Amino acid sequence: MKNIHLTGFSEKDFGAILNQYKYNLHPGDIIAGTIFHQESQGFLVDVGVNIAGYLPIDEVLLSSYNNGYDLKYLINNTREFFILAYNKDRQQLLLSVRRLDYIRAWKRIKQLESEDIILDVSIFNLNKGGILTVLEGLQSFIPRSHLIAFTNYEFIVKYHLPCKLLLADEKNNKIILSHKLALLDLYSDLLKVGKFVYGQISQIKQYGIFITIYGIPALLHISEIGYEYIRNINHTFQIGNKIKVKIIHVDMQQARLSVSRKELI
């Protein structure tokens, strides 16, 4: 069964075939069955009707990270399947586990999004843009701009990262996570507007200073350094130094802070 050809088939035709056996099944329905035989490109499934069920290999696993798994464990496995279509030539129901898991995964992700909780995610890969991970079996991404500074891939892949959902777009199957948002939540008692905290200077620009506070980036704009005009900001501050600042704004969308030193002068 290397080639499964699905001819044009309407829901009306599908119902007519199944009505011969007095069953009421339609594409999109969920049906229980038992996998009983493995073929080169898929599995045969007993769904309790006089029509065979067929599960292609590429409809088994939700995540591409598991494609190397040995699928023999599926034999004699009883579970639910999503009906994709009916193959009229072979008189087979074309089934999917992946589609069913995909639907259920997005339901859980939407629930996680509504609860706005901190998630503990594993790291699968690292690239220049950020980190690839998996949430509820679906590939997810943590942009570099939403990570604390990291340099050692071997070190970071050994750990789970606390993250929060930044974007959950089911239509485009796009999930973006933020590590910095999770840190803002974890340190919410310390990172409130009006609080005085210490941070380490990471960058010095003409328009201000970037400092890191509990892993969160903060901008000390040149207008918030003091009341007097600063001719050369590099003469006053050095990268690596720790300075005391007051939090004046918390940006939960970009996961960053704005701070001031005016009240410390």
CATH number at 208 reads 2.40.50.140
- Among candidate residues 145, 179, 213, the one where a domain is terminated: 179
Q: Is 89 part of a structural domain of the chain?
A: yes
User: 170 and 196 share a domain?
Assistant: no
Q: For the segment 188-219, what is each residue's pLDDT rounded down to a tens digit?
A: 888 889 999 999 999 999 889 999 998 888 99
User: 175 and 241 share a domain?
Assistant: no
User: 169 and 203 share a domain?
Assistant: no
Q: For the segment 66-124, what is each residue's pLDDT rounded down to a tens digit?
A: 555 667 788 988 999 999 998 777 778 999 999 999 999 999 999 999 998 999 888 88
- For residue 195, the enclosing domain spans 187-264
Q: Is 3 part of a structural domain of the chain?
A: no
Q: For the segment 118-148, what is each residue's pLDDT rounded down to a tens digit?
A: 998 888 888 888 888 999 999 999 998 888 7
User: 27 and 91 share a domain?
Assistant: yes
Q: Is 4 part of a structural domain of the chain?
A: no
Q: Is 71 part of a structural domain of the chain?
A: yes
Q: Which long-range contacts link 75-78 to residues 24+ away (Cβ below 8 Å)?
A: 75/35, 75/36, 75/37, 75/38, 75/43, 76/34, 76/35, 76/36, 77/34, 77/35, 78/32, 78/33, 78/34, 78/35
- Among candidate residues 157, 179, 201, the one where a domain is terminated: 179
Q: Is 141 part of a structural domain of the chain?
A: yes
- Number of structural domains (the chain) is 3
Q: Do residues 17 and 99 make contact, with C-beta atoms less than 8 angstroms apart?
A: no
User: 192 and 238 share a domain?
Assistant: yes
Residues of the chain with pLDDT > 70, as a percent, come to 84
